[in-house]
Chains A and B, each alone.
Chain A
Amino acid sequence: MHLHDPSSTPPPVRRTVPLAWFVVGVIVAAGVSVAGIATSYALRPGSPSGPLSITDDLGRHDTVPADPARVVVLGPSIMDSMYRLGLRSHVVGVDCYAPSLGGLSSDYSADQVALWNLSSSMCVETGPTFDVEQLLALGPQLVLAATIVSVAAVEQITQTYHIPVVMLQPATLTGVILNDQLLGEIFEVPGASSSLVSSLQSALSRAASLQDNLTANGTPFPTVLVTYSADGNGYWTFGPGTFGQSLIELASGASISANATLPYPELSGEQVLASNPEYLVYGTGFGINESTYAGGPFWSQLITTQGGHAVGMDSNYFTEPDPTMILVGLPQLIAVLHPGSSA
């Protein structure tokens, strides 16, 4: 048998991928990636055609067509504004959850569906995943989006399919007003927009003057727990930086979770009992009703303590930053917290 002769020099062929090839391979991969990104970036469409230049709530700059006839609205808060501005006929598509998992009714309550005359043929699936095909089938000229599932996906729509997307995600109630003004500009309905804006402003100023009165009289604000869900461990409520909290403040209430560390904290039964709020407001809608809260800790005790001051309100009033929040929700909350005051 031939034995390897160790005195011979090892053959020059390498046995495994030499490091040089390796590095080359990685560089090629990186190069391909960089080239791809650069090309994609360079080929981004100059803005889609349209005379209006918009900066939306996320700081994005869009060019949108004037008064587009086909609009897809993703988010009930925007739908609210569109309806109140008389623009319902422009809306051809709305956000839905997957049809077999709730469809239209997971984002829109029955009242909203009836009021705004929505149907499942208008659905664009935005959850659990974003369905581009449905959007494309509707052929919109503009997409208005609230809290949408993926900003990245939205960005992709703009760039690949040249459909302008305006993100309307106001951070404050003032933002709501500004967005309505913006919509008035886009759809060229200055009259409708200014009348909506003035009713919003007067609702806000009424609330402000009530607060001034209370402060002048030295009356303390009533303490309140506003909860939007409950489970065996406690009650979910609104913390600082949320619309719910803003609404409570505007309504001259003192939320017991005003100093929480999280935006949507869960307070335990003990915490609520200890804070002993004068008012208890529980949010309803989308399957949550009073029986949901009956399952929360110390619920019956809490109700008894309130002596009948536990009130149910539509959750949307606290979560959706839209005109309804200001025009309906705010006065309703004021009425709850300050019975007998004229609001």
Chain B
Amino acid sequence: MTGPTGSALRLRGVTVRFGERTALQDVNLEVPRGQFVALTGPNGSGKTTLLRAALGFLTPDAGSVELFGSEVLRLSVAERARRVAWVPQEENPREDAPLLDYVLYGRYAHLGWLQGETARDREAAVRALRAVGLEERAGDGILSVSGGEKQRAILARALVQEAPLVLLDEPTSHLDIAHQLDLLSRVRELSGERGVTIVAALHDLNLAARFSDRIVVLSRGRRVADGVPADVLSEELLARVWGVVADLRRDPRTGAPYLLPHHLVRPAPSGPGTFLGKGPVHVVGGGGSGAPYLRALSEAGYRVTAGALHLLDSDLETAESLGALTAVEVPFAPIGDEVRERLRTLLEAATAIVVAPFPVGPSNLPNLEEVRRLLGRVPILLVDRPTGEEWDFAGGRARALLAELRRGGARPVAGAAEMLEALAAEPAASASQ
């Protein structure tokens, strides 16, 4: 456990409460030595609390935190300092100490009582400053250097602690773009070349994806995702956890995923989980037929997805205004293979499907075909179509598909209210994710 193969940081079932509020709920995390973990999540998700628990700054209400095999709270404060170093988000020193002295503060845990700093300590400090590129500035005061340089100096101080685990709390939040890259590359170097274990709380998912080995996502105190960046980052994650609609791309140079944010998901009007509503429920519609159901679902707190819809379709506008993920085709064209793929993804992610009474023609028939593929796997609700009106413009194939759906267990509902009732009765659909 404490040998070179043991984990650097291990949280077991850690729960931390501040009065009524639960900051961390039953969190398990294991960070092996030498890994660079990016800890991310929306504001208030518990990232800072997790780091503070790892530092021994607070006592968890349940669970334990171990540093290199020893429970952090059982270690002396000095021993903790030798095992884990901390680069806080923001530090406001009161005195204009020269950088060298500032970095030397990190040697405290290695010095004996009343023992002064030796030449060896000073050399370590100079080396640390060199590692962050501040060697020439060693005599300059901490209050006179720029924000980026100050952050690097703090990193150098963490280095001089010679701790094999370094925790960073939003180290780049006050830095400009150049310094962000600079700092994180140096941190990456630390982990790569020197085998230091890094856990960094980062807001910027793209930076996290680019520099870290592993991304851990926290949401409302729980660990909701954990893995390599390519696996963890997805549009769905961003929408679910952050409430942001984004496009996922791939960085051509690094191969890392990166997200382009667009707009916010409209929060559910009821319930505490504004970004994580119920569902998602997929609505198949078009020509305005889907709008009332999209709205009703959204009002009731469900996340909705929609498609496949053609551009300029009013249902598409409704869907987008609700922040729904959609599958979109160009106007008047039949639904192509790519869009069908997309539709399939949305349908498979859905917890329920609602088929609105939309007029079906050859160009949007594939909607029903794809829905049929999910028969039996997910609850399907068919909104009653008014008798007498013609709605099948696909040569009878639409009716046939609908009949097949009905035979296969799809449930007819008369309108939005009945739809909601039916969904409420379905445990899978109404469960929060």
Contact = CB atoms under 8 A, between A and B. Distances in A.
A220 interface: no
Contacts of A7: 2-3, 68-69
A166 B361 CA distance: 123
Contacts of A16: 113
Interface residues on A, range: 10 to 19
Interface string B34-51: 000000000000000000
Interface in A1-49: 1-7, 10-11, 13-17
Contacts, number: 52
Contact of A3 (B76, B111, B112, B162): B162
A252 to B, nearest CB: 73
A1 B194 contact: yes
Contact of B82 (A1, A4, A13, A17): A4
A15 B110 CA distance: 9
Nearest to A15: B78
Interface residues of B, number: 30
B215 interface: no
User: Which of B3, B69, B112 has the most chain A CB atoms inside 10 A of its CB?
Assistant: B112
10 contacts: A1-B159, A1-B162, A3-B163, A4-B163, A5-B164, A6-B69, A6-B70, A6-B82, A6-B83, A15-B109
Contacts of B111: 15
Nearest to B76: A10
Interface in B209-268: none
Interface of B: 2-3, 67-70, 76-79, 82-83, 108-113, 124, 127-128, 131, 159, 161-164, 194-196
B83 A13 contact: no
Nearest to B79: A10
Q: Could you say which of B69, B78, B196 has the most chain A C-beta atoms within 10 Å of its C-beta? A: B78
A251 to B, nearest CB: 70
A2 B195 CA distance: 10
Secondary structure of the A contact surface, majority rule = loop
A184 to B, nearest CB: 69
Contacts of B82: 4, 6, 10
Interface of A: 1-7, 10-11, 13-17
Contacts of A6: 2, 67-70, 82-83, 164
Contacts of B164: 3-6
Nearest to A5: B164
B432 to A, nearest CB: 40
Nearest to A2: B162
B194 A15 contact: no
Nearest to A6: B68
Given A4-B83, A15-B77, 15 more contacts: A1-B127, A1-B162, A1-B194, A3-B194, A4-B82, A4-B161, A6-B67, A6-B69, A6-B70, A6-B164, A7-B68, A10-B76, A15-B109, A15-B111, A16-B113
Complex A-B, nearest 8 residue pairs according to Cβ-Cβ distance, in ascending order: A6-B68, A13-B112, A4-B82, A15-B78, A3-B164, A7-B2, A4-B162, A10-B79
Residue among B67, B77, B113 with max Cβ neighbours from chain A (10 Å): B113
Contacts of A11: 112
